[in-house]
Chain A
């Protein structure tokens, strides 16, 4: 079992729709969870993080965390073509050092 699992996609959504990106993790002691966006040929950039169960909203983005199910998701409302990118889920494992383990990423395509 991979430490952090994501569906590689591509996930295609029409412009204006809600895109839902999912991530599961194996280490129940994981403490915080990060979503990064990576455009083709570019480096990852942080969208948001979450560490408490429930929802966290930031503009068009909502992160959802369910520690009991070891599941974290990212919702993108009113998807735009500029949201087309690979979305990386990263998990901060316990044990110190602030070390992140990344999933393989989900490719999102927002179609006109």
Chain B
């Protein structure tokens, strides 16, 4: 079974530029998550999708971050304009949501963003 795919793996941009990340979840997984992991910290949930609907985006900085999950499969996370503090690894995860509280989230390899 293929895992969660993400691209690009690395991205370097100047502040105030825009950037987009792509995620393809494990086949059949209805729930998709985007996390931000700053160096030395644990992952922080940015947004959670159930199929193509948003379940939780309470920690998404909506003035600069946006995300969509068209057709309930792939997802794109965009930052516009980027700030220095956005430098982090952006992790995508997915889960099947078939086991309730023991549902396991599987993570993709992440995209390392550096904002100069």
- Determine whether the beta carbon of A98 is less than 8 Å from that of B31: yes
B41, B55, B56, B109: the one within 8 Å of A42 (CB)? B109
Chain A: number of interface residues, binned into ranges: 20 to 34
CB distance from A22 to the nearest CB of B (A): 15
CB distance from B49 to the nearest CB of A (A): 10
**Cα-based distance from A101 to B91 in the complex (angstroms):** 14
Question: Would you give the 0/1 interface string for B78-116, flagging 1 where the beta carbon is closer than 8 Å to chain A?
Answer: 000000000000010001010011111111111000000
- Determine whether the beta carbon of B40 is less than 8 Å from that of A32: no
- Determine whether the beta carbon of A43 is less than 8 Å from that of B110: yes
Chain B: number of interface residues, binned into ranges: 20 to 34
- Determine whether the beta carbon of A43 is less than 8 Å from that of B101: no
Contact (A103, B42) CB under 8 Å given A49-B102, A97-B48, A98-B97: yes
A8, A49, A101, A105: the one within 8 Å of B104 (CB)? A49
Q: Does B43 contact A (CB under 8 A)?
A: yes
- Determine whether the beta carbon of B103 is less than 8 Å from that of A98: yes
Query: Which residue on B lies nearest to A32, using beta carbons?
Result: B101
Number of A-B contacts (CB under 8 A): 55
A102 neighbours in B (Cβ, 8 Å): 42-44
A103 neighbours in B (Cβ, 8 Å): 42
**Cα-based distance from A102 to B91 in the complex (angstroms):** 13
Q: Does A73 contact B (CB under 8 A)?
A: no
B42, B91, B101: the one within 8 Å of A104 (CB)? B42
Q: Does B45 contact A (CB under 8 A)?
A: yes
CB distance from B54 to the nearest CB of A (A): 10
**Cα-based distance from A15 to B103 in the complex (angstroms):** 33
- Determine whether the beta carbon of A104 is less than 8 Å from that of B41: yes
**Cα-based distance from A11 to B29 in the complex (angstroms):** 36
**Cα-based distance from A49 to B100 in the complex (angstroms):** 13
**Cα-based distance from A46 to B19 in the complex (angstroms):** 29
- Could you list which residues of chain B lie within 8 angstroms of chain A, going by C-beta atoms? 31, 40-45, 48, 50, 55-56, 91, 95, 97, 100-110
A/B interface sample: 16 pairs, CB < 8 A: A31-B101, A32-B101, A34-B105, A43-B110, A44-B91, A46-B105, A46-B106, A51-B102, A88-B42, A88-B43, A97-B50, A98-B31, A98-B101, A98-B103, A101-B45, A105-B41
